[in-house]
Structure 1
């Protein structure tokens, strides 16, 4: 890890404040803990609460360091009585997104495996830093009046598994609806688009005014294109607002997600990212009764290399996510270990989860 941090050095720094556009390097490094457990490793038990205990200080993926002295990165290597090892890495979302997280993990694992920063298999994971002029105007975070993160008083997180064959059936269902005479156009829906729509639809029942937020990675949209190892939060959210049950039909949601993604094709620079954020904030602030909307966020980590992080022991038997503490309503998607489907980690209010996990349409496509 110490070698990787010579490349990913901002992760060993501190943030003066949660709104700061820069880090302060003070040579304090990151927290690294090795822990021994008397228990056996249970490969089938990787629920949110159990896995969360493997992380240093109980943190896993958090938005704001409690104070400027806190680490932006924390590592805990867990040794079990059976000889199994669980590596738990925690990162603040303030310094990077899921793509950054995946690149960092891959770089650290490769440096460990090949014992060199200059090995040909390590170099592709070297971080790419975006050069920003000192006079660039960084926007402050949006006002709380337009931040809609719906939180749970009694959150519960569940994992739902969807095989590729079932996701293919879900795609066909969406396309069949369009072919039956709908005026809505859909172009080759992806696994993530149809699954996001299904999860949101299932939750939105009973929430008349709802908002789906769907972050999109912008690295490939910039001119020139940025490598996937570009460090930072380089994404924008697609927003889908619904007020009536008819607007939560699967084909309608997929169409709106695709339309939102197409609108982001014009975002080709940091300046345009800033302008798009202004536009989103303006749109939300002008929406009548926006404070009554409930938000469901759905982030996808599919396609990222978490299941291929090899420290020299081979690929991990299980790569999973946990969010402690997490109280925001929504889901995270990640490829299954064998790559034959998608795991959806869904966090909802307890009473909403009771209804969600018994929904017949959801269960018809779910392996659970």
Structure 2
């Protein structure tokens, strides 16, 4: 993928119809206030619906912009601007929309993706920390048109108002409007916008912890697990019966830890302590009534699995066991406390624990951060050209981060793993890991 993508136009897309004046001030919820000032990046690649006829770019682009405007009117906070760490001014200043030409074949991306080049399909770098967030767009879109007729839609949505589930909900609404028109059943796509009533905002100014963006030389690679390899992996756990996400997390955690103990500076009998954080979607866990999956906001908690002490000879089952126990602790009692008077303290428990572990990770502790997007319905997004040929994210400038994505067939997992470059060289040679990898670019 040596050829570059050329941006040919840049416009702002405003919500249509405009947002009513009484909805102009949208409060962030407590969990939004604690979210990082990054963007959530997703890229959708679509093969040409007809190999013999290249779609009319102007017609497709016009339809995308019109329907994006309509989708923004439903998710109206996304068309505004963040005000400090308290609210969004729903002023309809709109989303950034770029149109780009990729003067090469989409097959070059699909057959041999270069992870380091994927960011060129996005409207901007998703992990930039802007000095003044109030002037930044909440949504950025880049429509990439390939010579062969293929299309790539790159999306960045601000993490201050949206998590991965919210991004999926917005894209679902946009694709439904593009495919079926604005008259589709409103209840299927209109978001739930009352998270601030459930998790009351506080007077806080969240500061990004120092050291989150790594200064080390990093390497991001994607490792694919198909249905057959996942079945073999889960069978390794016997009666424990972990989910696919739990099984893959345990395998990567164990393999990464084995990699860490093989660093040249380590004594051959030394094994560092380790822990993981894992993002948990809390929408379905709310009681007495679960929240809709299209609830806008950062409806997640990052759990910290207990430290795995060195030199204990832990097996895969042990890693999966502590992970499952930690995830299950995000229960009705936990979420009730999160909504209560001490909600801020509760929300900060795992945040502070992860911060302390990250600070210690330069020495005796290895901290790995996991987030699973494997069940998000990205592969169901049809804008009129069929379902995506591939859905991906991009590299992350943070060490020891793992994002789990779904696959087109619906029963596999792609693990996007970022490690220090010297660790990645050893990690991808791990014998136990290689037993279950279906393929890796």
Q: Same fold (TM over 0.5)?
A: yes
Match of 1:199 in 2: 252
* Residues in 2 aligned to 1:234 and 1:226: alpha-carbon distance in whole angstroms: 9
Match of 1:360 in 2: 431
Quick check: 1:2 aligned with 2:69?
A: yes
Match of 1:160 in 2: 223
| 1:322-333 paired onto structure 2 within 5 Å | 322-323=394-395, 326-333=397-404
| 1:183-262 paired onto structure 2 within 5 Å | 186=240, 188-205=241-258, 206=260, 208-223=272-287, 224-240=289-305, 241-246=307-312, 248-262=314-328
Quick check: 1:294 aligned with 2:294?
A: no
On the 8 A contact 1:31/1:74 being kept in 2, the answer is: yes
> Which residues of structure 2 form unaligned runs of 5+?
1-67, 262-271
Normalization by structure 1: what TM-score?
0.86
How far the C-alpha of 1:259 sits from its partner, in A, is: 0.7
How far the C-alpha of 1:29 sits from its partner, in A, is: 0.7
Quick check: 1:32 aligned with 2:102?
A: no
Change beyond 3 A, Cα 1:9–1:66 = farther
* Residues in 1 aligned to 2:220 and 2:389: alpha-carbon distance in whole angstroms: 22
Quick check: 1:348 aligned with 2:412?
A: no
Match of 1:172 in 2: 235
Which secondary structure does the structure 1 equivalent of 2:249 belong to? Answer: helix
Quick check: 1:279 aligned with 2:279?
A: no
* Residues in 2 aligned to 1:131 and 1:264: alpha-carbon distance in whole angstroms: 18
2:168 is aligned, of 102, 105, 114, to 102
Aligned length: 349
Quick check: 1:69 aligned with 2:135?
A: yes
On the 8 A contact 1:79/1:85 being kept in 2, the answer is: yes
**Residues 100-124 of structure 1: CA distance to partner in whole angstroms, max 9, x if unpaired?**
11111111111111121x312x641
Alignment RMSD: 2.6
Quick check: 1:49 aligned with 2:116?
A: yes
How far the C-alpha of 1:143 sits from its partner, in A, is: 8.0
Change beyond 3 A, Cα 1:93–1:284 = closer
Match of 1:320 in 2: 392
* Residues in 1 aligned to 2:292 and 2:200: alpha-carbon distance in whole angstroms: 24
* Residues in 1 aligned to 2:311 and 2:236: alpha-carbon distance in whole angstroms: 18
On the 8 A contact 2:81/2:135 being kept in 1, the answer is: yes
Which secondary structure does the structure 2 equivalent of 1:354 belong to? Answer: helix
> Which residues of structure 1 form unaligned runs of 5+?
177-185
How far the C-alpha of 1:280 sits from its partner, in A, is: 2.8
Match of 2:62 in 1: none
Normalization by structure 2: what TM-score?
0.73
